[in-house]
Chain A
């Protein structure tokens, strides 16, 4: 390109040919155009922070004030308060162990607080009922996971709280998920409820735990379409404890999935299809790995929340 922008703009004329002969534009070279090039000078001096600031202020350069902010989300709580401890042997052959008895006594204590919580929820939300809520909640659960498969962000945000969303979505962006809810083996049941209030005394959030026993299929494919986990044709029986939350004081609040409780006695998950290296102990030059008899540490069986 021999011509430059500044030169061409000088004689930009509209060319609408209407059988009128306009005079041809004249090319006038610009007298004051720079025809040489001097590269920018290199500063050899090492300037300290204060010197640089004084120089910048003298030159008239204004640096915008940096706001170091951290966003707080008030539409959901940060965790599950006073969580439900699922009794051991739930949905299994009941073998009364010592831990099972301890959990039963704790359950009796907890049920009183749950009744209080239900009353508080009904104060704020008169349409809430322990009989109808499970069906609604199961539908929310199914819709949320369907939206996760399609990765429909807006719908997922309306069905799932901001605390649960990153846990559902993390690592899944470049993976394909195939999930199917086949049937519910037992009707879902509300087992637990709490109404914590955050920061100020009247700011109530309702958290309700639901026990769901269902049959589902899950298959996760990685970026290249290869199967990472699960099987699309093999349905599995799943016992889950879902926690749904709603900001009761907010008139536009909705019941949304807040998290899941994984009990301490849950069976271990299936391993993924590929082999993974577990980092082992660092060896000294004279040691050999076989002589160490290294035992891979097994994680403690603790109740955790997804």
Chain B
């Protein structure tokens, strides 16, 4: 127990020393985090989902299939619950962008309006910055919600007791891809039953006569 505690503290001190070295050298070159082999945290104001939009692919040959454009967009610290947002994110997964926008427009939830704004922003970005030709030729490849930073407040109970109330916030992430959405194969009950029976029949008994 003592040994594990010491090594953990030693690592923490090493990490702090790393941080101080990094902060001193960061003035000279901002690419230190890419160059050094030490694990350093990301720079301020650069989150992973936004950075996915900065990836550049090498030029394609003439005989290769045209690579579909992928646009990543997100909104941070939305005043809504991540669990409630999940229902809307799950609703629009795999839909074309026009279909998703129609569904969200006529949905009564608070998050629907926010997600609609995010998708319209992403569509605009796609046409302007990412060389997407037709703005309707996009579909929602990935859409999910994540937990944001919560604010904490006191909720007063009787008898001088109190609870800590969380003011929930969430992030919403969406990835638009150019092209027609891939068809999800609907598996019927009969197909699943057939597969099960086949699995049973394919069993072999090893080390038998």
Chain A positions within 8 Å of B, measured between CB atoms, are: 3, 5, 8-9, 12-13, 15, 24-25, 37-40, 42, 174-176, 178, 219, 221-228, 274-275
Contacts and interface: CB of A to CB of B under 8 A. Distances in A.
B124 to A, nearest CB: 12
Contacts, number: 67
Contact of A223 (B2, B5, B131): B131
Nearest to A5: B12
6 contacts: A25-B2, A219-B59, A223-B56, A224-B131, A225-B60, A225-B67
B90 interface: no
B56 A176 contact: yes
A226 B59 CA distance: 6
Q: Which 10 A-B pairs have the closest CB atoms?
A: A222-B131, A39-B152, A221-B59, A274-B133, A225-B60, A225-B57, A224-B67, A225-B59, A8-B9, A224-B57
Nearest to B165: A39
B69 interface: yes
Contacts of A274: 131, 133
Size category of the B interface is 20 to 34
Interface of B: 2-3, 5-6, 8-9, 12, 54-60, 66-70, 130-131, 133-134, 152-154, 164-165
Contacts of B12: 5
B66 A9 contact: no
A178 B59 contact: yes
Given A8-B9, A224-B57, A225-B59, A39 B164 contact: yes
Given A39-B154, A178-B59, A274-B131, A12 B9 contact: yes
A300 to B, nearest CB: 26
A9 B131 contact: no
Given A24-B2, A176-B59, A226 B131 contact: yes
B132 to A, nearest CB: 8
A305 B68 CA distance: 36
